[in-house]
Structure 1
């Protein structure tokens, strides 16, 4: 590699979602509302699980971590985008760009792993109910979460270091609202073959393996539920699984379409739309999917809200 490297690029320009003033105002209100809904909904779930002893179970333990990750996930991109709109400053330093990319995809990996862990938890609960307490021990639950964090951080540390070694051309405009992998690779003047291979195989394995595991788990769950004689019980179980699987397909579908062929031509508008789906929409939907259809969670959330209301009076 030549001595002229990416260190000479001091900053990138994030072009955002739109350059038209009217659209920018509408998008600012929309994304601010979505971010506040995401933060409020997910933090309420974390608080409800922490304060209600009835929710101190493996399922809610994983759900509280998913909610925490989703708040962090949205917070890595949306506040920067909103601040850029208010202040008019769309630039981001090269170290800041790599840092944002690192945290965005650490949380992507964590969402990925936690969805798989939650599918396993439901598989054990439905298919092996008599062994649930002996299999899903507190120690195992903690190990699964800690292991997910370790793998996610190591995975993104590798990709960030590979990105840091690249050289970049004079064009530093990123047609996106955050530092995404694909537009950064397209701006590079270096050979990005190694980066693309690592995205396709190593990162692909990390995404595909949990996705396949989730599908297999829910196929087994569906088969077990189908044996239930009660039609009402079957419908309740299938409707809950269907909601979860809708989020799973939305999350994985957009990520796979974006990152499994990084060297192919990409439409900036389609890439942004897909990124919005998995960075903003999916974290906002999770509280509704996992709480509004759950009686225990709704009861715990009601108590948390009531406590807040009375404490302010």
Structure 2
């Protein structure tokens, strides 16, 4: 009996020792690495779309709206009901442009010149006396004043002697005047020029033309004369190639006001083109 008890005790002791040895051999659990949240101060850059330029045209320049839109395709363009005054107008618009000169305004460095071309290769304008009579009927200073646009600059200051003009036409065989087809582009002072020609007995018919069609119309005889605006030699020469008698009348200032942060450049025709800085 005693021997069996001792034998059982030995077995238990060995089992306990084995268990203890196995436990001692097990690797300690490796703790998971701690990950702290990463904070960043970087904010994704957001590119803001610049607000469109607010562009206003004085009413006398309304006919040039398409040219202004072409030069400022992203601008919001408004035609004002009345000519604006310098100062408070820039509280409502970024840039304002118009025809003529005015105190407190800036002026475009490009001034269009208004000229009248005569088709002198066909009667009756092929007569030097008739062509000269038409030229002499056009008092550039009076035309500039009659246009209603301040600051137009006459090219010549010769006063028209209408009695002498009518006598010249009579001597040339046209005592009652003659028919004259006057082609025109968008030209300040058109009505005043047409009225002056009618004043010497000419029966004037107005024909509106796109700028690129004036020279061909003179060449093929669709018009007898053309009132046109030009700002460079190429624009002038294209018309003069089909007319031996071009009468320069007056130059037209283009005025503008702009807020300081605008970048302003100018088209070939003299109109301001505006862009937001930056």
With CA pairs under 8 Å and 6+ residues apart, which has the higher RCO, 1 or 2? 1
TM over 0.5, yes or no?
no
The normalised TM-score by structure 1 is: 0.20
Structure number with higher strand proportion: 2
The normalised TM-score by structure 2 is: 0.22
State the structure with more CA Rg. 2
